[in-house]
Amino acid sequence: MEEKDIYDVRKLLCRITYSLIFASLLYHFYSYQWIYFVGHQPYYYFGEDLTYWLFFMSGFPQLIISAKWLALTLDLSSVALCLLIIIRPKFVWAARLFFVLYFVNFLLINALAGHHAHFLVGILLICIPFLTTKNISFYFLWKGLRYLTLFIYSCAFLWKLLRGTWILKGQGLAILQSNVASYLYFNPDTHLAHFYYYFLSHPGLFTILYALGLLLEAIFVIGFFTEKYDYFLFAAAILFHTLTFIFVDVFFAELLILNLTFIKFKNFSERSISASVICKNNNAER
């Protein structure tokens, strides 16, 4: 695989990735989730996350949300940079600037929402490989991101395994009850409500589903050892999030963007990077 092959794949991935990010930004606009719309929420939630403490101690976020025009500039600049990157994938400076703006946006949205959600993390992480000018570095960062995606799902499985929640009686039922209570309170007689009543009155069934969810997380461990089943993992991630949407009323749509790392391209694999390409780059750096 020559560096040009990597660049062709990089260009394609760049356009796909930032098109999806652009769609997400528009979706947030139509859902009134831009900093411009939510910036005047008076409480900030830091949790135990040191990054948020330091971020707000800098005074910078307070400056952004104190003036609506500044907040709007942040939001519109993100959109403009995203479009620029789609048109000109070579503009790495635009990708770097977008990453900074999106990171600020990420911290602000979570602080103002009063909850540190993970659904925007996918977009933040997938921007990282595009920050480098070197195509081989992009390749290694993209593959590293694939391992991080595998880690995300495997880690969720390990947490459940080590905390013993997979064998805890009533765990599945408790999760279902707490997450659908609001829906059932407001909509006690819909088809979906009766669907939930069935599982609530047959908790053993939901326990089986919970175990299936656990299995779906566990199979991502395979990806650390082989890329042969990557398309299967691609589908498993979509199935997992669909199940959580139906039963737990949570849909991490933006996290699914990391599924792009499971897509295989011809000559874009570790075996294909020839030693000569790596050596040529090492020599060029010296």
Partner 1 sequence: MLKQTYLYRLYHYNKKLFYGITLFAGLTIFCNVVGWQITPFFVWSMFSAREQPAETYDVLQIKINKQVFDYTKGQRDINRFFINYPLNYAISLYNRNYVDPPNFHVLKKYLPGVYNSVATRYPEFIYQQVNLKSFMSWYADYLSRVLKIKITSVEVDQVAVHYLKSGQLQPVKTDTLVHLSIR
- Residue closer to partner 1 by CB (options 18, 240) is 240
CB of 41 to partner 1, least distance (A): 6
Amino acid making up residue 7: Y
- Residue closer to partner 1 by CB (options 66, 249) is 249
CB of 80 to partner 1, least distance (A): 22
- Residue closer to partner 1 by CB (options 77, 281) is 281
- Residue closer to partner 1 by CB (options 64, 175) is 175
Three-state SS string over the chain comes to: CCHHHHHHHHHHHHHHHHHHHHHHHHHHHHCCCCHHHHCCCCCCCCCCCHHHHHHHHCCHHHHHHHCHHHHHHHHHHHHHHHHHHHHCCCCHHHHHHHHHHHHHHHHHHHHHHCCCCCCCHHHHHHCHHHHCCCHHHHHHHHHHHHHHHHHHHHHHHHHHHHHCCCCCCCHHHHHHHHHHHHHHHHCCCCHHHHHHHHHHHCHHHHHHHHHHHHHHHHHHHHHHCCCCCHHHHHHHHHHHHHHHHHHHCCCCHHHHHHHHHHCCCCCCCHHHCCHHHHHHHHHHHC
- Residue closer to partner 1 by CB (options 15, 171) is 171
- Residue closer to partner 1 by CB (options 76, 148) is 148
CB of 87 to partner 1, least distance (A): 27
CB of 124 to partner 1, least distance (A): 7
CB of 247 to partner 1, least distance (A): 10
CB of 232 to partner 1, least distance (A): 20
